[in-house]
Amino acid sequence: MAVKIIAHRGANRYAPQNTIPAFEKAFELGADGLETDVHLTSDGVPVICHNYTIDELSNGKGTISEMTFEQFKSYDFGSYFSDRFTDIPAPSLEELLELCSKNPIEILNIELKPPKDNNLSVVKKTIDMVREYGLFDKMIMSSFSASVLIEAKKLDRNCSTAYLYSPDKKEFYRVFTRIEKFAHEIGACAIHPHEFFVNRQLVEKAHNEGIKVNVWTVNKKSSILKLADYGVDGIITDKPDFARQVLLEAGQEENPAE
């Protein structure tokens, strides 16, 4: 099967990450799916932003969970990228789902950060809203937190989940030598490793357990080709158009124009 191309925070090399223009561009470039991040505002609205705070990429400062939705929407998330995107706000999850419902999408990878207050209500709100837009069968909920994924499966055993892992997370050294077994134990249907930790043996072991492998964040030609050769299921990339072209030239998928 062809490797799926998943646009990391949208097509973030063309437009500010995790904004509607970045997601629109990803669809324009033919990405199979999107990867994004969801948090809750203080009044309980699911919104799109990578970090817990808005400090890095907006003209404001503060923690998302401590600001209202109205406050969150008042900030500029586009100027850091280019003057062409001045006053572009970060979207709500609902705005993103509205866009997805009008475009061909195979994978909607929603990452949930572990809530710092241990309030897992973001899991139910995300599932309910995705289902409302008819995209539940397209969603895969990923997290570095096993607790988040276990909660998702408790709420709906049919919810597709993926365990994210990297060495800066506390669970990593406990599970990475048996990651495919761990994913199976928590009901995850996929693992999302950094490309550094992926080899052919890992992919084969995961597939033997019925676990898919979607790898982040893959931008180099050599890595794309290597991972495709290993048989990974998805490549999460900042450059969906480049990744697609690399695979086409390598004969890894059919040219949609033909």
At 243, the pLDDT band (50, 70, 90 cuts) reads very high
Cα separation, 139 vs 142, whole angstroms: 9
Provide φ and ψ at 216, rounded to 5°. Answer: -125, 165
Phi, psi angle pair for 159, to nearest 5°? -70, 125
How far apart CA 71 and CA 181 sit, in angstroms, is: 43
The Cα–Cα gap between 46 and 56 comes to 19
pLDDT recorded at residue 257: 47
What is the predicted pLDDT for the residue at 169? 82
On whether the pTM is more than 0.85, the answer is yes
- Neighbour-count burial of 201, counting CB atoms closer than 10 A to its CB (0-12 exposed, 13-18 middle, 19+ buried): exposed
Percent of the chain with pLDDT over 70: 97
The C-alpha angle 153, 157, 163, rounded to 5 degrees, equals 40
Residue 18 to residue 10: CA distance in whole angstroms: 6
Asked whether residue 132 carries a pLDDT value surpassing 50, the answer given is yes
Smallest Cα–Cα separation from 236: which of 3, 7, 81? Answer: 7
Cα distance between residue 124 and residue 113, in whole Å: 14
Q: What is the pLDDT of residues 33-88, one digit of tens each?
A: 999 999 999 999 999 999 999 999 999 999 999 999 999 999 999 999 999 999 99
Confidence at 255, pLDDT banded by 50, 70, 90: low
Distance CA 103, CA 80 (A): 27
Q: For residues 88 and 67, give the distance between their C-alpha atoms in angstroms, rounded to a whole number.
A: 18
**What is the DSSP code string of 109-174?**
EEEEPPPTT--THHHHHHHHHHHHTT-GGGEEEEES-HHHHHHHHHH-TT--EEEEE-TTSTTHHH
The pair of structure tokens assigned to 257 is: 């124009």
pLDDT of residue 167: 86
pLDDT at 171: 84
